[in-house]
Structures are given as C-alpha cells and as structure tokens.
Amino acid sequence: MNHTHSHLSATAATLLLSVIAATTAYADNPISATVTPYTFVGRVMDAKHAAFDTNRVCTISAYDSESLELIAETESTYLPGVRENYALKIPVATASANDHAVQDDDLAIEVTDEKGKVWQGKVPDSVCGAAGGIRRVDIVLGNDSNGDGIDDTLYNSLKTQWEDSDYWQYGQAFDPNADYDGDGISTINEAYAGTDPFNPKAALRITSFTTDAEKEPTRGTRGAASTTAHSLSFEAQAGRAYSIETTTNLVNPAWAQTSFTLPDSDKSEEIISIPSTETGYAVPVTIYLLPTDDPARFYRVHLE
C-alpha cells in the first residue's frame, strides 16, 4: 500500500470509539532509533456491535493528526476464542523520525471497511502512550450525529420497530434504554446482543444448567477429575463474543471471569467468539464448567 499520502478528510463519517482498559506493560525488542511500540488493541465492530471476522476484513490506520503522516497500519483478523480482532502497533522513536511517533503525539484513527468505505475518528485521549504500553479501544463503525453513542441508522431502525410493535403508545417518545418487552434487558442492549428487543422470549439468557455425571472435565481441573461436571447452555448470536462470569455470593457479588471447556475439547477457554459466518442468528452453545472446591457458586453469561 502507498503510505505517502493520507485518506483523511473533513467530510468522512463519524467513528464511534470506546476506551475499555488502561495502559499495561508490553514486551518487544527495541530496534534502531525506536523503542518498544505502543499498541492499540480491541475489536472493530459494526453499528450493532457484531465484530468483523474472516469474511469482513478492514484496515486500521493511525496518522499524526497534525501532519497527516501515516504512522502505522494493520488489518483486522478473526481468531476463535479471542476478544480482539486487531492490534495496531505504533512505532515509537526517542526523537522525531519519519513514520514514527513520539510519546504524547496526537494520533487520528482511520478505518477502511470491507466495502472500501472510510471511517474516521479521534480516539479519546488518543495520544501516543509510553513505549511498551497497550490500550484497549473498541471501534464501532457508525454515524452518531447527536452524540448519544448510538448509530443513527440503528436508532431509526429500532424506533420504527417500536412504532410497529404492540409496545407503542400514543404521545410516548421512543427511548432506546427502555425495556419495552419486559425481559430485563434494554432495547439498545438487545440490539447489541443480536436478540429481538420487542419479543420477551428472545433475550440473552441461560437456557439450561445441569449436572452430568457422564461427562467429567478431567482436563485443567487441578486434580479434581472425580468432580462432576456442570453443563451450562445458552443461545449465542453471530458475530458476538461471550464469557462466563461467576461469584460465590449474590448478596455482595464480585463477578469474575471463569474458565470452561467446550464439548470434545482439551483446551481451557475463557471466551467464546461466534463468527458471522454461522448459519442463522442463534447458535446453541454448551460448555462444561471447571470444578471448584466452593460449596456454592453462581454463574452468568456476559456479552463482551
């Protein structure tokens, strides 16, 4: 790709971004006048928060926001069981250098989707961090004209569905944060989860939780091979990633991510990523929770 010019323009669409985590340490080898890169990592998603996968590849670019010089570029990629689908390494120099950033340089992020459409935006506090740092940034491709954090087309689509549903009331304004179907999940969060926000039977929920003495997870169980496996099932939606969270106390719960195994798998997992290439919308998922010594433990499915 020719890196001698920038695609940045003042008329490009808005890029919605959310910063998920703070800077942490990162290991790499210094080269020449550069030091360890600063890395943006996260997921590129469409307006409905479905992540780009093997059939949806985009290019993520970082520019110096003043000179418009291209600093770094990468493509999204899909890895089963991994939250992130891109890692953009910013080459950091100890002094000003071509094609490198210096700590505290302002950066602008540009994304070219699989259809060639260019999306632009400035990551909040998107200065180049300290060498070796890593910053979690999820990128949502959408147009947000009123700054409410919701893509305009998605908002209008949900509003139209509400007006055509049994939940519309004369004189009432549409509220994407309302739970019209009463299933405990807001309209906008159901849209992000890929479920029908106007059908109380369609929501992200655990469909079964059973004890199965025939299937004991002998792998990764810290010697508890005789402990009976607990089987948890739910319906996942294409393009989404899920984790399982657990706590031993529902009065003052401290939910934490827990490991599990999938059927016919020897690998301990923490994330389930459902590719958009799955047939249909709902994908039945069953996992086996790794045994613990706790007398009581509670579980929930978390949409990443």
Give dist(CA 288, CA 290) in Å, integer: 6
pLDDT band with cut points at 50, 70 and 90 for residue 96:
confident
Confirm if 119 and 141 have CB atoms less than 8 A apart: yes
Element (H, E) at 162: helix 152-163
pLDDT tens for residues 123-164? Answer: 555 788 888 999 888 899 988 888 888 999 999 999 999 999
Class for domain 13-141, per CATH? mainly beta
The model's pLDDT over 262-286, given as tens digits with 9 standing for 90+, comes to 887 778 889 998 888 766 678 889 9
Q: Where are the domains positioned within the chain?
A: 13-141, 152-193, 206-303
Most confident segment among 159-163, 234-238, 249-253? 159-163
Give the three-class secondary structure for 18.
strand
Poorest-confidence range of 13-17, 62-66, 216-220, 266-270? 216-220
Calpha distance 304→302 (Å, rounded): 6
pTM for this model (two decimals): 0.77
Main-chain phi, psi angles of 207, to 5 degrees:
-90, -25
CA dist., res. 236 & res. 234, Å (int): 6
Residues with Cβ within 8 Å of residue 118, at least 6 apart in sequence: 7, 9, 12, 13, 110, 111, 112
Strands 118-121 and 107-112: antiparallel
Q: Which two tokens stand for residue 50?
A: 């479905």
Residue 227 pLDDT > 50, yes or no? Answer: yes
As given in the structure block, the two tokens for residue 118 are 């260019």
The residue with greater pLDDT, 146 or 199, is: 199
- Rounded Cα gap, residues 41 and 23, in angstroms: 11
Token pair 């979690």 is found at 136
